[in-house]
């Protein structure tokens, strides 16, 4: 009898779908071969390396363009671009090496791609750089401002970069590994990235050192490294600061001698402008008549005023601070502000906002949004959604003032109006149809799509709107003259780039920001009652219109004008001190 035996078949290991992939077809559709190759299991560290290379090649065109612009001839800048490519790749891979663990990192990797694509769009569109100040400014953007930054062009630019990467990440399989094996690979990848970066930096030091020293903004154009670094710095740096307790400065504050026998209390309006350039005010010599209403009302325009920062988040708290720019930027704690001092003196203080908040300045004084309490007709006439023209701040203003404590109003009133002004990039929303005197204007927030003349027209129309608003505010103040001695001071928080040097909008770090983002308009108007009350000499003030001033002067000038005595007041920084007592 013969016994037949069946050969034993070895059991195959049944593992994760990530661990086994079909073999590559020997021939056939190239797309199928590529897809099969892409879906083969591979270590997460390998995926991270490829992802870093993809980001360098697809999301760093602003950096390459800027290097080409600085370098001049291709023979000069191509080697620099190559070196910066290596440094950007190494930095990106080094950061991503901390995420090279498992397939569950895919959503995070895709989020980095989308972030880099969005950042590239705005760097190309508006020539911004991703320093910590810009990140903080972006975090402070409200939904209305964010909506103005969205466009179909942005969606297209982001999808072109994100879709291929998203599809590739979805198809890629991450090979399962033991923890120690993954850790070893990640450490090796990080070390390799650091070594290659050091080697590239040393070999190109003669070219890169002066380039980076003279063009600091380049380090904030390395995408996505700059965005990730700046975001981390914004959140981590405050953790290492000393206690940010509030330092009071109101001790010893009192009203001066002019209040003892006053016939009428003062009514002072301080208008905080938004994104206005001094060189686009006709009052300062601009060729276009952008300020006809102010010219009719006998205002004084200071022609050499510079801001504390290049964005609202930096400038507004700084201009109301007693510390000045240098002291404010190096402070370890928070300090009370100008409005706190004015309120502590006994005056009625009110902050009215047509912007994305007062950046912490008004939290201890009565404040309101200009949008609140509007009737339907006013909203329809002056507003687009939750965003309104500045004229809306004059609505119901008498009622707002009357609601302040009577005993404070009897001493005097200080009203701060925070404008929407010329906030970009949707400049076309910043002016009413009847003030659009410069045509044709840019009617999109994608500024690069507009010609230079269209961009100038739409921005200048926003200045004309501000001119009308200030003129109407002065008329309202004149109507209060029977009950008050009124006055007005207007100053913008920062300027704006309109394509000069390839830059748009604002927010460039102050140390290398162009003059257009720092040179701001400042305008004053005084009623006869206020001029007599403070003995202001108009001829003296006119003689000082070209004197160099900064936001540092605002705190002391307002206190001096309102005759508020306090230990923090410095007469040397009061722009009107030398002109008082001469009328």
Spatial distance between the Cα atoms of 516 and 229, rounded to a whole number of angstroms: 27
Surface-to-core class of residue 331, CB atoms within 10 Å of its CB (0-12 exposed, 13-18 middle, 19+ buried) = middle
The whole-number pLDDT of residue 237 equals 67
The whole-number pLDDT of residue 210 equals 61
Task: Report yes or no: 530 and 485 within 8 Å, Cβ to Cβ.
Answer: yes
Phi and psi for 491 in degrees, rounded to 5?
-150, 135
Strand 497-498 versus strand 504-505 pairing type:
antiparallel
- H or E segment to which residue 174 belongs: strand 173-174
Phi and psi for 231 in degrees, rounded to 5?
-65, -45
Low-confidence ranges of the chain (pLDDT < 50): 1-19, 242, 583
The whole-number pLDDT of residue 266 equals 97
Task: Report yes or no: 221 and 66 within 8 Å, Cβ to Cβ.
Answer: yes
Listed in order, strand segments (DSSP E) in 315-410 are 334-335, 348-353, 367-369, 383-384, 387-388
Query: Cα angle vertex 99, ends 96, 105, to 5°?
Result: 115
The whole-number pLDDT of residue 1 equals 39
Surface-to-core class of residue 87, CB atoms within 10 Å of its CB (0-12 exposed, 13-18 middle, 19+ buried) = buried
Task: Report yes or no: 517 and 505 within 8 Å, Cβ to Cβ.
Answer: no
Domains, the chain, ordered by start:
30-239 (no CATH), 267-366+404-470+484-579 (3.40.720.10)
Phi and psi for 211 in degrees, rounded to 5?
-60, -50
Spatial distance between the Cα atoms of 127 and 121, rounded to a whole number of angstroms: 9
Task: Report yes or no: 444 and 454 within 8 Å, Cβ to Cβ.
Answer: no
- H or E segment to which residue 110 belongs: helix 106-126
Q: Could you write out the DSSP letters of every residue in 413-433?
A: EEEEEE--TT-SS-GGGGS-G
Place of tokens 């035996």: 5
Tokens of 197: 């970066």
Could you tell me which residues come within 8 angstroms of residue 355 by beta carbon, excluding any fewer than 6 positions away?
274, 312, 418, 419, 420, 423
Q: Which of 217, 201, 169, 181 is nearest to 50 (CA)?
A: 169
SS (H, E, C) 433-462: HHHCCCCCCCCCCCHHHCCHHHHHHHHHHH
Task: Report yes or no: 83 and 207 within 8 Å, Cβ to Cβ.
Answer: yes
């Amino acid at each position: 009898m013969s016994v037949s035996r069946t050969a034993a078949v070895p059991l195959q290991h049944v593992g994760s779908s990530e661990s086994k992939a079909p073999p590559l077809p020997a021939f056939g559709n190239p797309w199928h071969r590529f897809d099969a190759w892409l879906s083969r299991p591979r270590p997460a560290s390998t995926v991270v390396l490829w992802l870093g290379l993809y980001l360098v090649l697809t999301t760093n065109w602003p950096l390459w363009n800027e290097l080409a612009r600085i370098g001049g001839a291709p023979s000069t800048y191509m080697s620099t671009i190559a070196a910066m490519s290596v440094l950007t790749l190494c930095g990106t891979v080094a950061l991503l090496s901390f995420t090279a663990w498992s397939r569950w990192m895919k959503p995070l990797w895709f989020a980095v791609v989308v972030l880099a694509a969005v950042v590239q769009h705005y760097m190309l569109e508006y020539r911004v750089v991703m320093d910590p100040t810009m990140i903080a400014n972006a975090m402070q953007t409200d939904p209305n401002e964010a909506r103005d930054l969205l466009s179909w062009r942005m969606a297209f630019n982001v999808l072109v970069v994100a879709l291929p990467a998203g599809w590739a990440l979805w198809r890629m399989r991450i090979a399962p590994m033991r923890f120690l094996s993954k850790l070893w690979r990640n450490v090796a990848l990080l070390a390799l990235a650091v070594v290659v970066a050091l080697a590239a930096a040393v070999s190109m030091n003669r070219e890169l050192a002066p380039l980076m020293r003279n063009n600091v903004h380049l380090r904030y154009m390395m995408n996505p490294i700059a965005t990730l670094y700046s975001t981390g710095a914004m959140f981590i740096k405050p953790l290492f600061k000393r206690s940010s307790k509030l330092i009071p400065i109101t001790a010893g504050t009192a009203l001066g001698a002019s209040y003892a026998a006053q016939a009428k209390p003062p009514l002072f309006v301080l208008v905080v402008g938004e994104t206005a350039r001094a060189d686009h005010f006709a009052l300062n010599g601009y060729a276009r008549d952008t300020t006809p209403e102010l010219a009719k009302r006998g205002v004084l325009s200071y022609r050499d005023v510079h801001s504390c920062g290049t964005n609202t988040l930096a400038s507004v708290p700084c201009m109301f601070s007693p510390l000045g720019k240098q002291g404010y930027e190096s402070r370890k704690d928070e300090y009370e502000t100008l409005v706190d001092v004015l309120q502590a003196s006994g005056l009625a203080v009110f902050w009215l906002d047509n912007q994305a908040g007062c950046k912490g300045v008004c939290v201890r004084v009565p404040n309101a949004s200009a949008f609140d309490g509007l009737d339907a007709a006013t909203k329809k006439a002056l507003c687009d959604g939750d965003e309104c023209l500045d004229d809306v701040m004059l609505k119901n203003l008498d009622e707002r003032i009357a609601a302040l404590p009577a005993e404070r109003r009897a001493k005097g009133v200080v009203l701060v109006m925070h404008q929407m002004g010329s906030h970009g990039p949707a400049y076309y929303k910043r002016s009413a149809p009847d003030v659009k005197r410069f045509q044709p204007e840019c009617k999109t927030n994608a500024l690069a799509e507009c010609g230079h003349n269209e961009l100038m027209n739409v921005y200048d129309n926003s200045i004309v709107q501000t001119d009308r608003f200030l003129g109407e505010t002065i008329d309202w103040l004149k109507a209060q003259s029977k009950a008050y001695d009124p006055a007005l001071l207007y100053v913008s928080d920062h300027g704006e780039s309109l394509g000069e040097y390839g830059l748009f909008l604002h927010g460039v770090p102050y140390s290398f920001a162009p003059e257009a983002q720092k040179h701001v308009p400042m305008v004053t108007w005084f009623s006869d009652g206020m001029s007599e009350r403070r003995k202001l000499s108009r001829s003296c003030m006119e003689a000082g219109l070209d004197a160099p001033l900064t936001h540092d002067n605002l705190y002391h000038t307002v206190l001096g004008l309102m005759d508020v005595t306090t230990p923090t007041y410095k007469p040397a920084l009061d722009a009107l001190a030398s002109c008082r007592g001469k009328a």
